[in-house]
């Protein structure tokens, strides 16, 4: 073993090392959370390059988010130095986008195609519905969802098999076909197209496929449990069974993207698809304290149809899990803020090592408010929120028109932004004319003198807009960097100027955001310049020439800067925001996968919130696949925590404008009480059902329900008559020691107070006069 090899294997356990050292042929690493799967991928890549002397440009490593890709690349730079810049480390979508751009002509696009997002897609679906004249029996949203599903399943309209009597299916098929036509005419693709078009291209053009197959001799995939059929089809093309060097790592228990077409069968059936694949199981968890692991295990083990897995840890038992009960979502948010501060002060855990999770984005607003008030520095991890702002979308539309004036959806978006007096009638005449003549809107603008019944003013205004677009397009052809192009666009379009002229606070904030977009472009340029230098150095530093006829050029090579910037914007995902140092991260459970934190707050553990109401409506026994997926999501949430896990719930919550009294989440009942530090005798008697008449379902009536339900149903019913002021207060009791008030009933010295005491004492109900503050 040489020195490189020793260093790379040093801190790996035997099965991890086995996976890193595995020779040629397919390999599946299947194991539970925190067992070092991602570490194995990174090490294996480094090992391939350093020890087995595989050219870095032959390696394609696919991760789930751009953020994960960035982190993996950083890690690899530490291990490999400049050579890391010759690797392709990316998400499925950006790998597909890079390849598609190189092969654009072969799929009927030009290199400057733009990528449409969800909002653009919806507009396009509406247009396609109008164009195809389908009966308006389906909502555009629903049709779009079905189209996305078809794309995830690798089906174009002509591949759809729809029965004649399936009216809705027929509608989807027709609109889908019209929608694809509109995309192609606009020289645009949507997210789903990136992989779908590539898979089709590889299928129809074996010569193109062969080039990439010959190039990428090693393909590695993290979070494989969440691949969808079209992604898997791509993998099978580029790394075909039975013998390609395809390494996939994942955990069937963490498959949480079924709603995006992910199919957990991909991982379960991998050994069948790649017969002879080596399977390595990792069983030691390095992340979480034992109590957390036990809780996670108890929750996930209720799922049917899992691959049997063991997971053990040498880590200590750790602290108890903490159960936090609240009157409503505001009290919950305040208490989360308070506990974060306490954990930071007393637990010596940095803000940046803490995270707050929730099931749906809508829950974040109240949490944000409470954190702001409590002066807890936090950051919302929702990568798209900035780019989804109206003014930023307007600016992006202009930028995309700059590189691709044929993009009709973008043109319509900014036709009258900032206001230039182009009204609905003019817009209608323009689009009708374009449709009749088979022109893009931009081309129609050029022919505007032929548009019937347009008066001179309308002509003039359209002319002005046409000129603006022409000028911007011309500028983009010679732009040397993205920031220059953004700056020019902001000036010429007068987007900032009009907002500043408006002068309202809101308009000024919007103007600030546009300047931030310019800042993002500047940052992008700097990064790109250094990446390009690095890539060139990596090519220069190659010790050997690529074999004759093998394509070894960097995948991103010749994309103009503005276009590269736009592509980066389009591919920003929900989980991609970088959390700055010193801040607590707030995110949905879905965005949390792959991450780890010292302390985790999992909020909203109520039936109908988490598990999501959708899963409750499922007609299958026990909620079927939907419920199983919620359970996996809970497992993902728990296993992000290293040392402290707080789970919280509210007795009533208003969400989506409705006030709901939901019973506690079933997942709480699966956690053994001892892990919360409760002892059997601590539990107060169950409350009278009449005390909680508003509940839709009374979990206390459920005789089979686990006892832990009773403890917190009691505590939360206690809160009915009390203000939130004493809760959370620190108190001392002569016999039980110090603790914190969880709930109180009545007021004054005879109030009955439920206190969570430290040590092994746990939850107790005592009379207030026996307590002293502190
Ligand atoms: N052999 C090891 N020795 C010490 N620490 C390790 C070892 N393997 C992994 N770790 C650490 O354990 C933690 C979890 O590793 P990693 O993120 O790779 O796990 P994972 O299996 O990918 O988890 P997840 O299922 O959540 O994606 C990381 O902090 C990692 O550095
Ligand atoms: Mg991982």
And the tokens for 628? 């199983």
Query: Is 283 considered catalytic here?
Result: no
Residues of the chain with pLDDT > 90: what percent?
Answer: 68
> Does pLDDT of 754 surpass 50?
yes
Is the CA virtual torsion 451, 453, 456, 462 positive or negative? negative
Q: Compare 658 and 693 and report the one with higher pLDDT.
A: 658
Confidence of residue 264 (pLDDT cuts 50, 70, 90): confident
Residue nearest to ligand 1 atom 12, measured at CA:
286
And the tokens for 184? 């192609």
3-class DSSP string for 680-724: HHHCCCCCCHHHCCCCCCCHHHCCCCCHHHHHHHHHHHHHHHCCC
* pLDDT for position 745: 75
29, 31, 38: which to mutate for ligand 1, most atoms within 8 A of CB?
A: 38
And the tokens for 488? 């020019």
pLDDT in tens, 91-125: 999 999 999 999 999 999 998 899 998 888 998 99
* pLDDT for position 716: 36
Query: Is 222 considered catalytic here?
Result: yes
Is the CA virtual torsion 343, 344, 350, 352 positive or negative? positive
And the tokens for 61? 């490593």
Residue by residue, DSSP assigns 353-418 as GEEEEESSGGGHHHHHHHHHHTT--EEE--TTTTTTSHHHHHHHHHHHHHH-TT-HHHHHHHTTSS
The mean pLDDT of the chain is: 88
pLDDT in tens, 14-55: 999 999 999 999 999 999 999 999 999 999 999 999 999 999
Burial of 668 (0-12, 13-18, 19+ CB in 10 A): buried
Query: Is 37 considered catalytic here?
Result: yes
* pLDDT for position 541: 79
> Does pLDDT of 553 surpass 90?
no
* pLDDT for position 427: 96
Confidence of residue 688 (pLDDT cuts 50, 70, 90): very low
Listed in order, strand segments (DSSP E) in 179-288 are 188-190, 218-221, 246-250, 278-282
pLDDT in tens, 398-427: 999 999 999 999 999 999 999 999 999 999
Region at 133 (left for phi over 0; alpha for psi -120 to 50; beta for the rest): left
> Does pLDDT of 620 surpass 90?
no
Q: What angle do CA 49, 55, 57 make, to 5 degrees?
A: 110
Closest atom of ligand 1 to CA, residue 595: 26
Report, as an integer, the average pLDDT of 181-193. Answer: 94
Helix-strand-coil percent breakdown of the chain, rounded to 5? 55, 15, 35
Any ligand 1 atom below 6 A from CB of 677? no
* pLDDT for position 748: 65
pTM reported for the whole predicted model: 0.84
* pLDDT for position 180: 96
* pLDDT for position 749: 65
Confidence of residue 725 (pLDDT cuts 50, 70, 90): low
CA distance 732 to 671: 28
Confidence of residue 498 (pLDDT cuts 50, 70, 90): very high
CA distance 488 to 498: 15
Residues of the chain with pLDDT > 70: what percent?
Answer: 93
Ligand 1 centre from 3 Cα, in Å?
23
pLDDT in tens, 358-373: 999 889 999 999 999 9
> Does pLDDT of 288 surpass 60?
yes
Q: Compare 771 and 688 and report the one with higher pLDDT.
A: 771
Query: Is 223 considered catalytic here?
Result: yes
Taking a C-beta distance cutoff of 8 angstroms, is the pair 355, 595 a contact?
yes
Ligand 1 centre from 451 Cα, in Å?
64
CA distance 50 to 53: 6
CA distance 219 to 3: 26
pLDDT in tens, 454-473: 999 999 999 999 999 999 99
* pLDDT for position 699: 32
Pick from 607, 574, 580, 579: which is nearest to 593 by CA? 574
> Does pLDDT of 681 surpass 70?
no
Residue nearest to ligand 1 atom 18, measured at CA:
36
- Classify each residue of 16-38 as buried b or exposed e, where b means 16 or more C-beta atoms within 10 Å of its C-beta: bbbbbbbeeebbbbbbbbbbbbb
Taking each helix axis from N to C end, the angle separating 191-204 and 92-102, rounded to the nearest 10 degrees, works out to 60
7, 39, 79, 293: which to mutate for ligand 1, most atoms within 8 A of CB?
A: 39
CA distance 103 to 614: 41
ipTM beyond cut 0.95: yes
| Coil, strand or helix at 741 | strand
CA distances from 237 to 198, 273, 401, 547 (A): 10, 13, 34, 22
């Amino acid at each position: 073993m040489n020195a490189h090899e020793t260093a790379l294997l040093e801190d790996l356990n035997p099965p991890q090392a086995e996976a890193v050292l595995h020779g040629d042929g397919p390999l599946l690493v299947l194991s539970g959370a925190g067992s070092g799967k991602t570490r194995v991928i990174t090490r294996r890549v480094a090992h391939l390059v350093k020890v087995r002397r595989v050219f870095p440009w032959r390696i394609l490593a696919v991760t789930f988010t751009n953020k994960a890709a960035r982190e993996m690349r950083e890690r690899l730079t530490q291990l490999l130095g400049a050579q890391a810049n010759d690797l392709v480390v990316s998400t499925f979508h950006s790998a597909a986008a890079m390849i598609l751009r190189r092969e654009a002509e072969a799929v009927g696009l030009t290199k400057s195609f733009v990528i449409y997002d969800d909002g653009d897609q919806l507009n396009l679906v509406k247009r396609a519905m109008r164009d195809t004249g389908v009966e308006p029996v389906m909502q555009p949203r629903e049709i779009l969802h079905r189209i996305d599903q078809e794309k995830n399943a690798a089906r174009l309209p002509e591949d759809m098999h729809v029965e004649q009597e399936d009216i809705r299916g027929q509608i989807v098929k027709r609109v889908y076909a019209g929608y694809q036509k509109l995309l192609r005419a606009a020289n645009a693709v949507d997210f789903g197209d990136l992989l779908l078009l590539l898979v089709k291209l590889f299928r129809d053009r074996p010569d193109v496929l062969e080039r990439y197959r010959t190039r990428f001799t090693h393909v590695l995939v993290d979070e494989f449990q969440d691949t969808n059929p079209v992604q898997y089809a791509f993998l099978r093309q580029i790394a075909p069974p039975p013998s390609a060097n395809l390494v996939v790592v994942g955990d069937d228990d963490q498959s949480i993207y079924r709603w995006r077409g992910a199919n957990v069968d991909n991982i379960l059936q991998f050994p069948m698809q790649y017969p002879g694949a080596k399977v390595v199981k990792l069983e030691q968890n390095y992340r979480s304290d034992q109590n957390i692991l036990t809780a996670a295990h108890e929750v996930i083990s209720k799922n049917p149809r899992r691959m049997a897995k063991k997971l053990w840890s040498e880590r200590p038992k750790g602290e108890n899990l903490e159960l936090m009960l609240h009157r409503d979502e505001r009290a919950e948010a305040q208490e989360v803020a308070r506990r974060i501060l306490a954990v930071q002060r007393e637990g010596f855990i940095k803000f940046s090592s803490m995270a707050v999770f929730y099931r749906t984005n809508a829950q974040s607003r109240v949490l944000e408010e409470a954190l702001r008030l409590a002066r807890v520095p936090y950051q919302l991890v929702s990568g798209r929120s900035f780019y989804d702002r109206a003014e930023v979308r307007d600016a992006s539309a202009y930028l995309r028109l700059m590189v691709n004036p044929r993009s009709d959806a973008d043109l319509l978006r900014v036709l009258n932004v900032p206001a230039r007096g182009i009204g609905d009638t003019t817009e209608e005449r323009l689009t009708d004319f374009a449709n009749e003549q088979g022109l893009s809107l931009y081309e129609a603008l050029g022919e505007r003198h032929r548009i019937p019944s347009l008066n001179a003013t309308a002509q003039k205004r359209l002319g002005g807009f046409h000129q603006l677009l022409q000028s911007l397009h011309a500028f983009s052809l010679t732009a040397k960097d993205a920031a220059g192009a953004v700056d020019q666009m902001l000036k010429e379009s007068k987007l900032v100027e009009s907002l500043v002229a408006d002068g309202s606070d809101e308009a000024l904030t919007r103007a600030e955001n546009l300047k931030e977009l310019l800042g993002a472009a500047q940052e992008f340029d700097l990064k790109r310049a250094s990446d390009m230098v690095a890539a060139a150095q990596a090519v220069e530093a190659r010790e050997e020439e690529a074999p004759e006829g093998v394509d070894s050029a960097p995948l991103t090579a010749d994309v103009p800067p503005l276009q590269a910037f736009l592509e980066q914007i389009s591919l920003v995902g929900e989980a991609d925001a970088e959390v700055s140092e010193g801040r607590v991260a707030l995110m949905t459970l879905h965005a949390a996968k792959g991450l780890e934190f010292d302390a985790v707050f999992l909020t909203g553990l109520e039936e109908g919130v988490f598990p999501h109401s959708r899963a409750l409506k499922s007609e299958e026994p026990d909620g079927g696949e939907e419920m199983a997926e919620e359970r996996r999501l809970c497992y993902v949430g728990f296993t992000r925590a290293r040392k402290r896990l707080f789970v919280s719930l509210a007795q009533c919550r208003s969400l989506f404008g409705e006030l709901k009294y939901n019973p506690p989440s079933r997942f709480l009942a699966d956690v053994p009480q001892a892990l919360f530090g409760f002892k059997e005798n601590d539990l107060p008697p169950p409350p009278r059902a009449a005390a909680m008449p508003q509940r839709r379902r009374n979990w206390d009536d459920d005789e089979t329900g686990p006892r832990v339900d009773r403890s917190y149903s009691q505590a939360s019913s206690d809160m009915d008559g009390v203000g939130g002021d004493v809760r959370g207060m620190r108190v001392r009791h002569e016999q039980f020691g110090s603790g914190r008030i969880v709930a109180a009933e009545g007021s004054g010295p005879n109030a009955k107070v439920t206190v969570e005491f430290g040590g092994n004492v746990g939850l107790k109900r005592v009379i207030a006069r026996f307590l002293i503050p502190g």
